[in-house]
Amino acid sequence: MKLPRPRILVSYGLAAAAFFLLLWVRPPLQSSKLPPAKDFDILDRAIEHIRDDYVNETNPLQTMEGAFRGLIGALDPASAYLSSELTARASSPRLERLYDIGLAAYKRPGAFPVVVAVVEGSPAEKAGIQPGDAVSAVDDRSTLVWSHNEFRFALKSEKPAPVKLRLIHENETLEKTVDRYAPYPAPVAWTAEPGTAGIVRIHHLFSGAMDAFRTIVLPQVAGRKNTLILDLRGCREGEIEEARGLVNLFLKSPRAGTFEKKGGIKTVWACPAEPVLPDVPLVVWVDPATMGPAEIAAGVLRDFKRATVVGTPTAGLTAEQRLLPLDAGDGLLLTVGAFTLASGEALFEKGLTPDVKIGPGKKTGADYLEKTKGLPGSRRP
């Protein structure tokens, strides 16, 4: 049904007003190269051409949603426009309990999400999904214009309902229906490894992860002098406060890093508690699926020469974010702070470069152990 022309004009006017508000709240992490007046002149001309020259009658609400998605997605990889359904998932108080399929992907603007890791034993692995596969559609919705976090939340669900994926595997397009499962039976696991104090696998850094660490890991490593391996591979979700707790197990600092916020304001990120493992030698494993709070923890431990980091470069999703609900139930997930190490090295959008790199195709625990052999866990002078 075609809308009357006056209603179209009103809707585009609301879109322009929304653009103004969105631009006004934009954090100064990626400033426009054009002066504001030029920005709005281009916006006005674009709306005019769409209204007068586009071949079909447009749906203003659909056009606005696409405009919102493009605008927010252009800010940085972590910011996102979320539909009402995805906003509800993102605001779930127990996000770690949502059902998922067990893959980690990284989404760059203008490209399909690329799988960087698949959880062992997960539905994604059972479906044959592999690192390097691109996901071009989720439930028949193209992912090309989605943001990284929009894709991430689209894979989650309150119920274990399957999800339909369209994949690009090498030169082949595949359709797969993948079950969802509860991916986090426990946040932390410890396993014995000869010649070490064991391997601690951190599955996520949601609330309660460090309580589990103290309960599960500390009794196993107390009094040991061998290197402890902290495995953060695939640790792609969680909370910044839990990352602070993880770092504070091994070191104390009144200034472990900073979050730069709007207007250049820097907020100190401190680890003020006395560490319970101040002297245990430490090696940290990372991979492309080590994201967010886990990246911060690994970066700080390396920055303070408290650990040697082994693996592959990370994505740089070290952002402090705020979910801002909108009136229609949709929302904006905006970056409000970008993390910088105490040394001044920025991690946001740059990622962490390991001390010891794993070569192409090397991804198993045995590959990482091979690189870990003989390494000093602590590089303190």
Task: Specify the pLDDT at position 65.
Answer: 66
Q: Whole-angstrom Cα distance, residue 313 to residue 327?
A: 39
How far is residue 2's CA from residue 272's CA, in Å, rounded to a whole number? 61
pLDDT in tens, 146-191: 999 999 999 999 999 999 999 999 989 999 999 999 988 899 999 9
Category of 86 on φ-ψ map: left (φ > 0), alpha (ψ -120 to 50) or beta: alpha
Distance of alpha carbon 132 from alpha carbon 361, whole angstroms? 11
Domain spanning 188-372: CATH 3.20.20.140? no
- CA-nearest of 19, 9, 66, 63 to 39 is 19
- For 91-178, which CATH class? mainly beta
pLDDT of residue 7: 37
Residue boundaries of the structural domains of the chain? 5-75, 91-178, 188-372
Give backbone dihedrals phi and psi of 218, rounded to 5 degrees, phi first: -55, -45
The predicted structure's pLDDT at residue 224: 86
Closest by CA to 311, choosing from 265, 358, 246, is 358
Q: What is the pLDDT of residue 378?
A: 46
Extract the residue ranges of the chain whose pLDDT is less than 50.
1-34, 378-381
- Residue 62 has what pLDDT? 58
Give strand ranges (E) for 287-330. 308-311, 319-325
- Res 278: pLDDT: 94
